[in-house]
Amino acid sequence: MQEPERTGWTAAYYDRPVDRTGSLGDYDYEYGVEYAGILARFLALWLDHLIAFALSLPVAIPVALYYNHVAGDFAAVASFWLAWIAVDFAYQWFFTAIGGGLGKQLIGLRIVRERDRLPPATGTALLRVGFILLLGGIPVAGGLLAIADCAWAIGDDRRQAWHDRIAGTLVVKHQRQPG
């Protein structure tokens, strides 16, 4: 049976050149990985933050109680949040260095180096997580810059946020090995 002639937009779609040596859309043909979507990244990030928050409670609560007794309410709240930020930073740094936190694992994502698709080294992980922390810590504009950082990945062909570009990392869907 003869295939019908394509005209209009279908011809442009089916007859377009496909470069299978680099990346096209959401799939990297060279390494055989699919880039993570924005919604999956967002959900995994918040799961990781919730896990880090739960892990910080045994540290943050005693510190807050001590400072509440010594210096008052403001010091207690400030020390609680500082303890949480410290634990969250350590959690994100450690798990980024091995390919992603528990939230990313639950969603089926992993963080890899851009150059060879292996898990980032500790220095790369520190750069990635440190950039996010510094960006979010800028007074007044930090929250907006952190949102812009993550929103950048929406229009990026490889779904890279600013912190990914600076550290040379990608967030990809985890490929399950058969068998």
Model confidence pLDDT, tens digit, residues 68-114:
888 888 888 888 989 999 999 999 999 999 999 999 999 999 999 99
- Kindly list the domain boundaries of the chain, sorted by start residue: 37-173
Residue 119: what pLDDT? 92
| E strand segments, 14-173 | 23-24, 27-28, 33-34, 109-113, 169-173
Beta-carbon neighbour count of residue 6 at 10 Å? 12
Distance between CA 30 and CA 21 in Å, rounded? 5
- Give the residue ranges of the chain where pLDDT is below 70: 1-25, 176-179
Residue 150: what pLDDT? 86
Burial 109-148 (b: 16+ CB within 10 A, else e): bbbbbeeeeebbeeebbbbbbbbbbebeeeeeeeeeebee
Residue 160: what pLDDT? 92
Residue 103: what pLDDT? 94
